[in-house]
């Protein structure tokens, strides 16, 4: 039996459904599903992702079966529509669209109005007595085909179109007279022929197969590859191709096109939200070529108020769909409600109205800001659509930090330059640039930038990623800029009509104010304000719906979440975000505050034990004070304090001028300082004299730090009555004997302090597992260690053999070549480093059954790494304070995924037992 590559849909029937996204892509699967639900969907067919995979693996060749299957599917469309593909007077015209399993808006290619040619246009226009519509459609088809299939530079095409409208004094495409449309079509064909070096194809079948091929090719175009990389989309076979009978929003003034959301994708407001254009095609809405109108009357009135448009003018020139086409509006509302109930999620829908008849072209779970995702999840639980666990699973852990973005203080007085559409919430303050390249270059130079464009296109993706905010003159809430910015968590203001951008002069004019490249502005993506100059931002707090979801997540998860915090301030932030303790306090980070570094340098430069002790006496009160602040901030939760880890050379100056200054300050000779610093130099310091090795060579350093920890803990317990739980962590242990020696000293110091203070503390002494040998001999190390904390930054470095300082030169290439799926310093290498961790946990607990195990590297806040830690049986993860909410949600999702997998396995066993 031949392989099936084509799945037709239409007339209420289809063999595809919403569960087949991997095969049919998200768009195709949902077109099949909507058809089966009885929605008015134009008939068509889906060419599968497996065909795309075959095409890419066989150097652009198709499976033998696919052409015949496409021909059969086209015959079926012809029967349902009563037209013929290639017929002059009653032609079947098609759209060809991409659609991967994961939504990638704007990243791949689309061709509309396929099937038109010189003969068809003339006969079709006569048949329907609508020359303007037919020639406008032909103009669009030639341009899209030139862009997608021909790979043409579109600037000359745009110049021809905009030049015509400027000469005629018109703005809308639908106002171009027929004679000019005919001339533009001729000019477009000449531009195509000049660039492609062949005539514009007139055979519809050639047009179709070249368009299908172009869509398959677009899977690997630069912007699609970049989008997948930015969003960590992996493991897909390719894109499906959706071929569908055309319906026309530009047919006449009783036709329209629009994009709508069952809830607001920016803030989650449950009110119906969307935009539409009369006498237009879908590209006009999403490309931002015309600023669209609002679908509901309520939104239209609000839009007009924000833009200073009188009600009478709004009602006549910018009416809502609810007012202009009430029958179609009511049908649209009923169907969007049906789809949201069916999919149990907020829907992003595209529709077309042709001569008063509504058609649905797409539905999908809508992309949304994190603010909207949280509100929608919480509301849907309240509405009974989903349960709490499903609400937690709906959150994208990689986007949670959007909730922690700063915002403009509403009490702050600002100078507003203009107001546009609040396309993506949050705030951004930066210097303006006008190109993606400039945004990347300025960011690389350490500058904060806002990218200003007339409108954005997929080619601007890298610049949008580099910018802190995006500002556009054109486009609405569903434009490319808005959709991509929301997905990236960037603030964005669109549709600022008074914004005039001059790319050549590198200026942006807003009324009487002209801004030049490098000038500072601020954007309020939540209100749509464009503000002159730099405005101070306010840090957000966790409350409302997200606070509720965090509470639900805490009820579900089993994995603890701590924070890496080195100061009382960081500890307070971590506690407020829900951290259950401190998993890593890097004591060396305390040395750089104020003039503390002088005492540290004095200790390092001392040649005798007594000299070091004298300097350490100056350091002791600083550390003690910091530890007291941390213990108080954590309110009795456990705190893991790592003793000094970095090599000593990191704390001393290496240039002559700084060494001379230090010598004068400490009363030493310049030569002595120079020689002592030189003696600390190591060829490979990360594998050199650091961590426990320093403690063994200079035990008075660790003794002083342990004394500071326990003096602070005893004092705080006396002052507050809290049960303080210090956990002393000795770093870089590779052999149990290292730990045994340092543990004995630490216990002696701790007991002496507690005896002197008259306080008894419950404390632990453990180690940071960073050396592969420690993983291999974890059963021995657990004899001494009361806890393990995996330092996965160094464990990755030593386990993979990569230098963190140098691997950036080649790891990106490794990821691009598929050697690693992700940079292992950002996402835990579960097969390699993870296997070392699993070994250490298993061996350690074989020796000490109650061994507490955690992770404190940067991976502790990365969602997939957190889930691995859950599966490995760790007690907790520890991450930066602002990543704590991410880790909490990821830990809850891991527990839910495990529960669902177990339930699925039980169900499978039950089914098999019945056979």
Q: Is the dihedral of CA 75, 77, 80, 82 positive or negative?
A: negative
Active-site residue, 856 included: yes
CA–chain centroid gap for 455, Å, is 21
Q: Which residues pair with 275 in a beta bridge?
A: 259, 294
> Could you give the CA distance from residue 471 to residue 528 in angstroms, rounded to a whole number?
10
> Could you give the CA distance from residue 532 to residue 417 in angstroms, rounded to a whole number?
6
- Judging by DSSP bridges, how do beta strands 427-433 and 520-524 pair with one another? antiparallel
> Could you give the CA distance from residue 172 to residue 284 in angstroms, rounded to a whole number?
10
DSSP assignment of 71-128 equals: HHHHHHHHHHHT-BTT-SSSB--EEEEEEESS--TTTS-EEEEET--HHHHHHHHHHH
Contacts of 813 (CB under 8 A, 6+ apart): none
Quick one: which of 173, 98, 168 has its CA closest to 132? Answer: 173
Nearest-10 Cα torsion for 807, 808, 812, 814:
-10
> Could you give the CA distance from residue 480 to residue 163 in angstroms, rounded to a whole number?
24
> Could you give the CA distance from residue 176 to residue 289 in angstroms, rounded to a whole number?
15
Q: Residue 282 in contact with residue 249, Cβ under 8 Å? A: yes
In terms of Cβ atoms closer than 10 Å to its own Cβ (0-12, 13-18, 19+), residue 756 is exposed
Q: Which residues pair with 453 in a beta bridge?
A: 472
DSSP letter (8 states) at residue 20: -
DSSP letter (8 states) at residue 914: H
Please tell me the number of Cα atoms within 13 Å of 781 on its side-chain side.
34
Contacts of 333 (CB under 8 A, 6+ apart): 272
> Could you give the CA distance from residue 12 to residue 520 in angstroms, rounded to a whole number?
55
> Could you give the CA distance from residue 185 to residue 379 in angstroms, rounded to a whole number?
50
Quick one: which of 450, 699, 596 has its CA closest to 460? Answer: 450
> Could you give the CA distance from residue 46 to residue 23 in angstroms, rounded to a whole number?
9
Catalytic residue among 152, 260, 480, 639, which?
A: 480
For tokens 């190390």, what's the residue? 781
Q: How many CB atoms lie within 10 A of CB 75?
A: 13
Contacts of 681 (CB under 8 A, 6+ apart): 649
Tokens of 791: 């330092």
> Could you give the CA distance from residue 392 to residue 376 in angstroms, rounded to a whole number?
11
CA angle 313, 319, 325 (to 5 degrees): 150
- DSSP helix/strand/coil, 625: helix
Q: How many residues does the chain have?
A: 915
For tokens 């386990």, what's the residue? 799
Q: Is the dihedral of CA 899, 900, 901, 906 positive or negative?
A: positive
Contacts of 252 (CB under 8 A, 6+ apart): 130, 133, 279, 355
Nearest-10 Cα torsion for 426, 430, 436, 441:
-130
Catalytic residue among 32, 853, 856, 879, which?
A: 856
Q: Which residues of 204-237 are buried (b: 16+ CB within 10 A; e: fewer)?
A: beebbebbbbbbbbbbebebbebbbeebebeebb
Residue 9 phi, psi dihedral angles, 5° rounding? -150, 145
> Could you give the CA distance from residue 27 to residue 239 in angstroms, rounded to a whole number?
10
Tokens of 794: 């160094």
Active-site residue, 585 included: no
Residues taking part in catalysis: 480, 856
């Amino acid at each position: 039996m031949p392989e099936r590559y084509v799945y037709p849909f239409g007339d209420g029937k289809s063999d595809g459904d919403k569960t087949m996204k991997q095969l049919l892509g998200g768009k195709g699967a949902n077109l099949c599903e909507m058809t089966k639900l009885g929605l008015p969907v134009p008939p068509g067919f889906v060419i599968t992702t497996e065909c795309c995979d075959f095409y890419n693996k066989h150097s652009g060749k198709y499976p033998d079966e696919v052409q015949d299957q496409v021909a059969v599917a086209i015959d079926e469309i012809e029967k349902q529509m009563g037209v013929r593909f290639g017929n002059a007077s009653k032609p079947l015209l098609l759209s060809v669209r991409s659609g991967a399993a994961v939504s990638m808006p704007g990243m791949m290619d689309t061709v509309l109005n396929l099937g038109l040619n010189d003969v068809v246009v003339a006969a079709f226009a006569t048949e329907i007595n609508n020359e303007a519509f037919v020639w406008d459609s032909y103009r669009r088809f030639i341009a899209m085909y030139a862009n997608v299939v021909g790979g043409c530079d579109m600037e000359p095409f745009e110049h021809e179109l905009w030049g015509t409208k400027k000469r005629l004094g018109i703005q809308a495409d639908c106002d171009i007279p027929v004679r000019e449309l005919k001339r533009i079509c001729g000019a477009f064909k000449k531009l195509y022929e000049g660039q492609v070096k062949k005539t514009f194809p007139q055979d519809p079948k050639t047009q179709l197969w070249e368009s299908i091929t172009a869509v398959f090719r677009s899977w690997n175009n630069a912007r699609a590859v970049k989008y997948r990389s930015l969003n960590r989309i992996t493991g897909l076979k390719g894109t499906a191709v959706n071929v569908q009978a055309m319906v026309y929003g530009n047919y006449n003034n009783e036709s329209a096109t629009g994009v709508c959301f069952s809830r607001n994708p920016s803030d989650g407001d449950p009110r119906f939200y969307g935009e539409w254009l009369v006498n237009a095609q879908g590209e006009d809405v999403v490309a931002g070529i015309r600023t669209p109108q609002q679908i509901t009357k309520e939104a239209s009135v609000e839009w007009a108020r924000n833009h200073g448009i009188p009600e009478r003018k709004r009602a006549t020139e910018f009416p809502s769909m609810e007012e202009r086409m009430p029958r179609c509006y009511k049908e649209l509302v009923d169907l969007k409600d049906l789809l949201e109930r069916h999919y149990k999620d907020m829907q992003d829908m595209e529709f077309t109205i042709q001569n008063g008849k509504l058609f649905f072209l797409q539905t999908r779970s809508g992309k949304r800001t994190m603010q909207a995702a949280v509100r929608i999840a919480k509301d849907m639980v309240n509405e009974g659509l989903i349960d709490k666990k499903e609400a937690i699973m709906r959150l994208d852990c990689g986007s949670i930090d959007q909730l922690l973005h700063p915002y403009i203080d509403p009490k702050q007085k600002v100078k507003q330059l203009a107001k546009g559409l609040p396309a993506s919430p949050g705030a951004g303050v930066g210097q303006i640039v006008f190109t993606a390249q400039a945004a990347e270059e300025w960011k690389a130079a350490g500058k904060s930038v806002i990218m200003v464009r007339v409108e954005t296109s997929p080619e601007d993706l890298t610049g949008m990623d580099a910018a802190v905010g995006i500002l556009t003159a054109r486009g609405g809430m569903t434009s490319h800029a808005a959709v991509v910015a929301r997905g990236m968590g960037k603030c964005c203001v669109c549709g600022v009509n008074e914004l005039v951008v001059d790319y050549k002069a590198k200026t942006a004019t807003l009324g009487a104010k002209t801004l030049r490249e490098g000038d500072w502005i601020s954007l309020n993506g939540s209100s749509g304000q464009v503000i002159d100059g730099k405005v101070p931002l306010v840090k957000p707090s966790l409350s409302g719906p997200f606070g509720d979801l965090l509470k639900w997540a805490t009820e579900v998860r089993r994995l603890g979440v701590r924070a890496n915090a080195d100061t009382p301030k960081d500890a307070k932030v971590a506690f407020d975000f829900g951290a259950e303790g401190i998993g890593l306090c890097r004591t060396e980070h305390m040395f750089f505050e104020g003039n503390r570094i002088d005492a540290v340098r004095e200790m390092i430069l001392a040649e005798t034990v007594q000299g070091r002790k004298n300097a350490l006496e100056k350091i002791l009160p600083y550390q003690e004070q910091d530890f007291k602040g941390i213990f108080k901030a954590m309110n009795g939760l456990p705190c893991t304090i790592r003793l000094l880890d970095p090599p000593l050379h990191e704390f001393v100056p290496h240039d002559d001028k700084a060494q001379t200054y230090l010598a004068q300050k400490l009363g030493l000779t310049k030569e002595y300082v120079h020689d002592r610093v030189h003696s600390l130099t190591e060829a490979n310091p990360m594998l050199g004299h650091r961590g426990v090795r320093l403690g063994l060579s200079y035990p008075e350093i660790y003794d002083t730090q342990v004394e500071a920890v326990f003096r602070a803990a005893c004092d705080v317990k006396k002052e507050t009555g809290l049960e303080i739980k210090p956990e002393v962590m000795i770093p870089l242990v590779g052999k149990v004997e290292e730990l045994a020696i340092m543990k004995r000293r630490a216990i002696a110091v701790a007991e002496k302090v507690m005896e002197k203070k008259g306080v008894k503390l419950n404390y632990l002494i453990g180690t940071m597992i960073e050396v592969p040998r420690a993983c291999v001999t974890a059963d021995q190390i657990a004899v001494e260690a009361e806890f393990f904390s995996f330092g996965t930054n160094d464990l990755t470095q030593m386990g993979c053999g990569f230098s963190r300082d140098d691997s950036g030169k080649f790891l990106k290439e490794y990821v691009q070549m598929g050697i690693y799926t992700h940079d292992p310093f950002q996402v835990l290498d579960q097969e390699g480093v993870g296997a070392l961790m699993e070994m250490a946990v298993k061996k350690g607990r074989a020796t000490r059954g109650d061994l507490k195990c955690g992770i404190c590297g940067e991976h502790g806040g990365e969602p997939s790494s957190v889930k691995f830690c859950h599966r490995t049986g760790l007690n907790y993860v520890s991450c930066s304070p602002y990543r704590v909410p991410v880790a909490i949600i990821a830990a809850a999702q891991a527990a839910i995924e495990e529960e669902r997998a177990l339930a699925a396995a039980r169900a499978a066993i039950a089914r098999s037992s019945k056979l």
